[in-house]
Amino acid sequence: MKIIFGKPYITEKEIEEVIDSLKTGWIGKGPKTARFEKMFTEYSGAKYAVALNSCTAALYISLRFFNIKEGDEVITTPLTFAATANVIENCDAKTIFVDVEKNSGCINPDLIEEKITKNTKAIIPVHYCGYPCEIEKILKIAKKYKLKVIFDAAHCIEGKYRNKHIANFGDAVCFSFYATKNITTAEGGMLCTNNRKLYEYAKLFSTQGLSSDAWTRSKQKDKYYSVVLAGMKFNMCDLQAAIGIQQLLKIEKLYQIRLRQWQRYNLELKETGLILPLMPDEKIKRHSLHLYTILIDKKRCGISRDELKKELEKSGIGTGIHFISLHNHKYYKKKYNLKRSDFPNANYFSNTTLSLPIGPALTEKEQNYIIKMIRNYVSFSNNTSI
């Protein structure tokens, strides 16, 4: 059996929507991109949404809009994908890491204030694996020190906080539609905001700073444009949006599939000694169930994370590691002279976390096989503890 980790769920509906775009002859940014943006605002409740080629682009544009530059500092978590910190570095600002909570993997708000200086300008919290971070606490700190908050919600498309979609909190919220995400456009992202000026800036910046894009000009008598700012090519195209339209139409159906698989993993793996992912109080937070991450401690399980990963791969089961903390990577380690011990909780996740396949492309037979193989390899001892 060969089980691909993060395999996208693509149906005939997505294929038909893409073919429709191909037949119209308009495959760049155009009507379907606009439709996808409108659908996402209706789904999330955010006032504005700009479809982009990645979540990275959304993060970068947000930082640029808030004039993050050399000499500034931006606080974020080390337990995240490289993009979260890379955008800070590419604004010539300084990345300041804050350790995570050991139970959720999200940035620990109780440690943020001690890292704030006169140069701190923004915070980029990450909704890790789809678990919404402590939004209220973070926003309270940001208000106290007059900091901008740009949420990295790459994992958290369906996330809610106090029954409100997470797209409505902070100054900007950035989503990903990469191939492995809960809904996909193959590559792509979305910047959501309630700030009209940021929205207008994002539209301009993502299309090279042109006063009107090709689709807009095609409907106007005046076919010329003016370059009004030095932007970049960050927009989504209609072929991507076509996939996103059909994915978004069934997002809740896909979520329920993930939920059933999540519950099955919890039931079947609860006696193995594995530390299973935390679920929040549903009255406060809605987990988007993006990644099902187990923690493997060798003292408890008789096998290490790397050993289990290797055995599962030999059995044809693809897995992921989310993440090797950025403070352990060469660039950040060297530039900021970081040690593993600087962020003990992030380091703990780095050494023990393993993401299992989950999602509508995973069959019941495949999930049963994954569970069987894990139970074969794990040897739990009740007499040991972390």
CATH of the domain at 114: 3.40.640.10
CA 367 to CA 317: how far, in whole Å? 10
Q: Looking at the structure, do residues 124 and 196 belong to the same domain, yes or no?
A: yes
CA 2 to CA 14: how far, in whole Å? 24
Q: Looking at the structure, do residues 214 and 335 belong to the same domain, yes or no?
A: no
Dihedral angle sign, alpha carbons of residues 270, 276, 281, 282: negative
Q: Residue 271 in 3-state DSSP? A: coil
CA 266 to CA 42: how far, in whole Å? 33
Question: Is 384 a member of any domain?
Answer: no
Residue 219 in this model has a pLDDT that exceeds 90: no
Q: Looking at the structure, do residues 239 and 273 belong to the same domain, yes or no?
A: no
Q: What order of strands is seen across the sheet that includes strand 160-161? A: 164-165, 160-161, 285-286
- Which of the following is catalytic: 181, 203, 285, 309? 181
- The pTM assigned to this predicted structure is 0.97
Q: Looking at the structure, do residues 198 and 331 belong to the same domain, yes or no?
A: no
Q: Which residue carries 């606009």 as its tokens?
A: 34
Question: Is 155 a member of any domain?
Answer: yes
Strand 164-165 to strand 172-176: parallel, antiparallel, or no bridges (unpaired)? unpaired
201: confidence class by pLDDT, cuts 50, 70, 90: very high
The CATH number of the domain holding residue 314 is 3.90.1150.10
Residue 383 in this model has a pLDDT that exceeds 70: no
**Predicted pLDDT at 300:** 93
Q: Is-contact 366 261, C-beta < 8 A? A: no
**Final residue before a domain boundary, out of 249, 271, 288:** 249
Q: Is-contact 386 297, C-beta < 8 A? A: yes
CA 323 to CA 174: how far, in whole Å? 19
**Final residue before a domain boundary, out of 249, 267, 292:** 249
**Final residue before a domain boundary, out of 207, 222, 249:** 249
Q: Looking at the structure, do residues 266 and 188 belong to the same domain, yes or no?
A: no
CA 131 to CA 80: how far, in whole Å? 13
Q: Looking at the structure, do residues 280 and 349 belong to the same domain, yes or no?
A: yes
Predicted confidence (pLDDT) per residue in 242-293, tens digit: 999 999 999 999 999 999 999 999 999 999 999 999 999 999 999 999 999 9
Q: Looking at the structure, do residues 226 and 268 belong to the same domain, yes or no?
A: no
Question: Is 385 a member of any domain?
Answer: no
Tokens standing for 9?
């769920």
Residue 232 in this model has a pLDDT that exceeds 50: yes
Q: What is the mean pLDDT of residues 71-80?
A: 98
Q: Looking at the structure, do residues 88 and 213 belong to the same domain, yes or no?
A: yes
Question: Is 166 a member of any domain?
Answer: yes
Question: Which stretches within 172-276 are classed as H helix?
Answer: 196-205, 214-218, 238-249, 251-269
Question: Is 2 a member of any domain?
Answer: no
Determine whether 181 is an active site residue. Answer: yes
Domain around 135: 12-249
382: confidence class by pLDDT, cuts 50, 70, 90: low
